[in-house]
Amino acid sequence: METDYRGTNKMIIGIVFGVITFWLFAQSMVNVIPSVQSDLGISLGTINIAISLTALFSGLFIVAAGGLADKVGRKKITYLGLWLSVIGSLCLIFAQGPVLLIIGRVIQGLSAACIMPATIALVKSYFEGSERQRALSYWSIGSWGGSGVCSFAGGAIATYMGWKWIFIFSIIFTLLAMVLLKDIPESKSTQTETHRFDYTGFALFFITILAFNIVITQGQDIGWTNPIILGLIAVTIIGAVLFFKIEKGIANRFIDFSLFQNKPYSGATISNFLLNAVAGTLVVANTYVQVGRGFTAFQSGMLSLGYLVSVLAMIRVGEKLLQRTGARMPMIVGSLITTIGIGIMAFTFLQGAAYTIVVFIGFALFGIGLGMYATPSTDTAVSNAPSEKIGEASGIYKMASSLGSSIGVALSAAVYGAFSAVESVEVAASAGILTNVAFAILALLSILFTVPKKGTKT
């Protein structure tokens, strides 16, 4: 532990407030799509782009921000992220059309890219052993718990105050985070050597992921056989091949693949990507019950109330299971419960109250599973990363979260949109939700094959 910082509870609360600027407030966009579309008079395709852009830009820049945090200071990068959160929220508050909406969402993504790896690195710097696991549990309450609150809170705020109030509250919590974190000593890597930033690798990664995101968000509207989409598919494939080929041959690479030689770290990161991809469930389920069942934003948020309660309750349970059994068991059981919860939400053939009850139960199981998984996964990644690269390793781990969420939301929305063009809204919703079941199953398999039966080192 680098420095004895005794304001630990104050520090944890400040970190949680910073983390929820993305996971609670920015993510609330998933439940206010009809309100935003009606207020700003823009198309559903534009809204879907705006929703996915925050997670996309977070994922694109988070590794660079994590590495920068190691070099210039984790507190400095956290504060940079908090100021960007204020600016991004202001853009959304004053948006009258798509321009400020999209700019604000991009800035929110850059904010999250700074805050997430830097705050995880601060936790590892100032906490050890069971105290670190406790701190990571609260960090997870901010992230996984925030994602549980966002659907309910966003729907309630949008219904009774207007959707722009979501981002007024975000600014308030951001400013509180700044106050709570102001006395934390700076933390940075003790290694003094400098490395040239891998601009080539970053550019290839940026172009590849951006092209892929456009394909899955706009393919239906533009046309899958349109030369533009076919060209972007080619860019995605060629870019991915070139990225892996070039990155393997250089020393100062954008993504340090040597971190993945550690199987527990790999398992935690890959499963984290896949279980964040199931965020598409929130978009499809909330959109379906509002469009297909006539629910208001607040009513659809109420359906996910069980998710909110269970994910918050189970995060500390996951921490205790981690300490007793190691990470593997709660990660496996959590992924399995998540898969079941999402799966039953695909029963859109059920009528009336029957489907409402099933969705409520599904959301509750969803939350139980993710809550159980969260802390063991994060601790596995953090404890298996070298201290001098914890910012970069945390950046990669959280890049998996952001890109998983972005790709999962975009792909789920694309499947929903494609099926709704030729089938009933019930069939479309079922197909979109089953896409997320596939992600959850793959997450379970990745844990089974990579995370060891014995506990990970701490």
Residues 166 and 280 in one domain: yes
Residue 14 domain-assigned (yes or no): yes
Domain boundary among 251, 266, 285: 251
Q: Taking the model in full, what pTM does it have?
A: 0.76
Residues 267 and 338 in one domain: yes
Kindly report the backbone phi and psi dihedral angles of residue 3, in degrees, each rounded to the nearest multiple of 5, phi listed first. -140, 145
**Structural domain range at position 108:** 8-184+252-450
Residues 266 and 247 in one domain: no
CATH of the domain at 95: 1.20.1250.20
Residues 216 and 135 in one domain: no
* CB contact burial 185-207 (16+ within 10 A = b; e otherwise): eebbbeeeeeeeebeebbebbbb
Q: What total number of domains does the chain contain? A: 2
Residues 34 and 139 in one domain: yes
Residues 264 and 286 in one domain: yes
The reported pLDDT for the residue numbered 95 is 93
Residues 290 and 311 in one domain: yes
Query: Distance between CA 346 and CA 415 in Å, rounded?
Result: 13
The reported pLDDT for the residue numbered 272 is 92
The reported pLDDT for the residue numbered 458 is 40
Residues 369 and 400 in one domain: yes
The reported pLDDT for the residue numbered 2 is 44
Domain boundary among 251, 268, 283: 251
Residue 235 domain-assigned (yes or no): yes
Do residues 270 and 404 lie in contact, with contact meaning Cβ atoms separated by under 8 Å?
no
The reported pLDDT for the residue numbered 76 is 93
Residues 275 and 378 in one domain: yes
Residue 455 domain-assigned (yes or no): no
Query: Distance between CA 433 and CA 342 in Å, rounded?
Result: 7
Q: Could you list the pLDDT tens digit for every one of the 458 residues in the chain?
A: 444 444 478 888 999 999 999 878 888 887 787 788 888 888 777 887 788 788 778 878 888 888 888 888 899 999 999 999 999 999 999 999 899 999 999 999 999 999 988 998 888 788 877 888 888 888 878 877 777 677 778 878 888 898 999 999 999 999 999 999 988 888 877 664 556 777 888 889 889 988 887 887 777 778 878 899 999 999 999 999 998 888 877 777 778 788 888 888 988 999 999 998 998 888 888 888 888 888 887 788 788 788 878 888 898 898 889 989 988 999 999 999 999 999 999 999 998 899 999 999 999 999 899 889 988 998 888 888 777 777 778 778 878 887 888 788 888 888 888 898 888 989 999 999 999 999 999 999 999 998 887 644 44
Residues 307 and 214 in one domain: no
Residues 123 and 159 in one domain: yes
The reported pLDDT for the residue numbered 4 is 47
Closest CA to 176 of 21, 6, 58: 21
Residue 77 domain-assigned (yes or no): yes
Residues 84 and 210 in one domain: no
Residue 3 domain-assigned (yes or no): no
